[in-house]
Structure 1
Amino acid sequence: MISKAAVIGSGYMGGGIAQVLALAGKEVVLADASAELAASNRERLIREAADYAERGIFPSDAAETVAERISSAPSIEDAVADVDFVEEAVPEILELKHDTLRRIDRAARPDAVIGSNTSTISIGTLAEAVDGGGRFLGVHFSNPAPFIPGVEVIPHSGTDPDAVEAVVALLRECGKVGVPITDVTGFVLNRLQYALFTEAARLVDEGVATPEAVDLIARTTFGFRLPFFGPFAIADIAGLDVYDFCYRSLHDAYPERFTAPAVLRERVDRGDKGVKSGRGFLATPAERAPELAAYRDEAYAALSALLRQLGPAPVDY
């Protein structure tokens, strides 16, 4: 069980991760480029926790909890010397990450699990700096770490399965959803995110829509579904045969950009069309369609009510 952790890199992401761990009852030690920076960021995290508590989005005693459970260390070596888990959260510069991971690896206990919060760098590439590679893996929180539930858990080819299990269990204790995936550059989150942004930018470049219009359509149509259903569940609900037809239309217009994926074609060819056939990418039976529709409708209505309550985001176009 992980009860004490170190976070190396105490900026916005690292600091948020430290808050998550502390609020879950873990002792956390911060380290940064200097002792002064780590200490200063600890004080910032306490102030932030007080502000979040006042706004009702952290527990009422969050500032006291963060102050009690988060400490700062004079160096990386001091921070990691006696902890169960280390999260590296320094900037996305390969040389800096390699240097930091070498220092962590040399100073940490042999049984300590080491994670990296890298957002795109292959974990196998980062593992080159860790002699004890079996205890190393990616643990990619999303911004802002205290409020986004999903965390990518990325073992490389040499990661010990026990390290993956320990991190997933830790994340569960923190109220997060740890999702193990395969190690590839960009992982899942950023491959999806940047694929969407690429097509959004093309629409603007081609004069099809303004950035404001693209954002508005994304938020109020397919993006509205995403808090409740992922892309495969959405496709199953719509019907994979419908998706296949739409891909054909898109391919005719944009042959270099849109082709029906093989995994879609294979399912359609064998009659697996989604919920209406009882099997698609998922295995939701057709008899659950009314239950699924009822959940969908209530979920979308609740989200609409929440958005009306919150009002528009303070974004200017």
Structure 2
Amino acid sequence: MTQQQRPVYAVIGSGYMGGGIAQSLALSGADVRIADVDLDVATANRERLIAEAAQFAADGLFPADAADTVAQRLTAATIEDAVAGADFIEEAVPEKIEIKHATLRRICDAAAPDAIIGSNTSTILIGRLAEAVTNPERFLGVHFSNPAPFIPGVELIPHSSTAEATIAAAEKIVAATGKETARVKDATGFVLNRLQYALFHEATQLVEEGVATAEDIDTIVRTTFGFRLPFFGPFAIADMAGLDVYSFCYASLQTEFPERFATPKVLDDLVSAGKLGTKTGAGFLDVPADRTPELVAYRNKAYVAMKKLIDELGPAPIHPGTDPHPDND
């Protein structure tokens, strides 16, 4: 693909998140312009992103030629020059609505009227941000996760006026980076942070109640139900466990926490209808019962492979003196 044929993207906000997004877009085959509060900041961040790409390549995390690719495809510019003629523009400035509104207005003043504009906001309603966007049908949330080059999931959040063609185009752009998208309605916290903070809130409750230490809770999460999460979401896990089992567990939790663990209506409805998950062939995901042996075989293989990978990597260097490879001394 020649330079003239490559799509042109812009990332406004070239810090840790925006820079990682820019790297991902550049490695996907696009020419990417980055901008920040001024050209000097964007230029310095461009050099940092090239150096990072070289280190990531040396660590086997990026392709061997990643630094050259990023250097060739990534340019620093002012906001106006970055967005002029760009096909897709990703806003990744600080999480303050007044900063995002001001930035989106500058983008709209200089960008093509049909350029797709995404915001990397993790908490602000897309509909509120759209107030600063001309032709808001071309605007949506495109929420990457930290660290952007390595986390494979991206939330796409349309607001009430986002065009279907805009969502489809954003899906294609993100797919080219090798990431996977999920469409999410414009609701406070979206999905990622609603779930992430629900877990964190309950974890802090356990610490405050003296049930377990922070260290032991982290151990339980990453070695039990968290161990499943790279392969299965909460509904697939519930279907495999049995929705009747979940219903019984809710009843047990309610003996101490009747409001905090009230049984969800959707779970009650499924159990009442005899839809208990994979063992009945119907549940949240309606996996046919005859596929259960295949699913169990995949599950077991996945968990063994994950354990081998964790053993190979060694423990995370969180605590002082941790040696991820004690046998290599």
1:23 aligns with 2:61: no
Distance 2:267 2:60 in 1: 44
1:172 aligns with 2:175: yes
Match of 1:62 in 2: 66
Distance 1:265 1:5 in 2: 47
Contact 1:10 1:30 in 2 (8 A): yes
Match of 2:227 in 1: 224
1:297 aligns with 2:300: yes
1:264 aligns with 2:260: no
Which of 41, 51, 55 matches 1:47?
51
Distance 1:4 1:48 in 2: 22
Which of 80, 84, 88 matches 2:91?
88
Distance 2:151 2:175 in 1: 13
Distance 2:268 2:91 in 1: 41
Q: Please tell me the residue identity of whatever aligns with 2:280.
A: S
Q: Please tell me the residue identity of whatever aligns with 1:18.
A: A
Match of 1:142 in 2: 145
Distance 2:294 2:271 in 1: 24
Distance 1:304 1:102 in 2: 49
What displacement does 1:256 show?
2.3
Contact 1:2 1:170 in 2 (8 A): no
Q: Please tell me the residue identity of whatever aligns with 2:58.
A: E
Superposed CA RMSD: 1.1
Match of 1:106 in 2: 109
Distance 2:125 2:145 in 1: 17
Secondary structure of the residue aligned to 1:165 is: helix
What displacement does 1:111 show?
1.2
Match of 2:157 in 1: 154
What displacement does 1:284 show?
0.8
Secondary structure of the residue aligned to 1:314 is: coil
1:37 aligns with 2:14: no
What displacement does 1:2 show?
8.2
Contact 1:121 1:185 in 2 (8 A): yes
Match of 2:324 in 1: none
Worse-matched range after superposition: 102-111 or 7-16: 102-111
What displacement does 1:8 show?
0.2
State TM-score, norm by structure 2.
0.95
1:311 aligns with 2:321: no
Residues 252-273 of structure 1, C-alpha deviation per residue, up to 9 Å, x if partnerless?
2101211111111111110110
Q: Please tell me the residue identity of whatever aligns with 1:12.
A: Y
Residues 91-144 of structure 1, C-alpha deviation per residue, up to 9 Å, x if partnerless?
101100010011111111011000000001110111111121100000000000
Distance 2:151 2:6 in 1: 21
Distance 2:66 2:181 in 1: 23
Secondary structure of the residue aligned to 2:194 is: helix
Residues 34-57 of structure 1, C-alpha deviation per residue, up to 9 Å, x if partnerless?
100000000000000000000001
Distance 2:264 2:110 in 1: 47
Secondary structure of the residue aligned to 1:18 is: helix
What displacement does 1:282 show?
0.5
Distance 2:303 2:140 in 1: 36
Secondary structure of the residue aligned to 2:279 is: helix
Which of 76, 100, 105 matches 1:72?
76
Q: Please tell me the residue identity of whatever aligns with 2:159.
A: H
Match of 2:202 in 1: 199
Q: Percent identity?
A: 63
What displacement does 1:316 show?
2.0
Which of 256, 262, 265 matches 1:253?
256
Contact 2:126 2:157 in 1 (8 A): yes
Contact 2:6 2:31 in 1 (8 A): no
What displacement does 1:197 show?
0.1
Distance 1:297 1:159 in 2: 41
State TM-score, norm by structure 1.
0.98
1:244 aligns with 2:247: yes
Residues 142-165 of structure 1, C-alpha deviation per residue, up to 9 Å, x if partnerless?
000000000000000010110000
Q: Please tell me the residue identity of whatever aligns with 1:290.
A: P
Q: Please tell me the residue identity of whatever aligns with 1:31.
A: A
Name segments (4+ residues, structure 1) moved above 4 Å.
none
Structure 1 unmatched runs, 5+: none
What displacement does 1:181 show?
1.1
Distance 1:283 1:202 in 2: 34
Distance 2:6 2:115 in 1: 9
Distance 2:203 2:255 in 1: 20
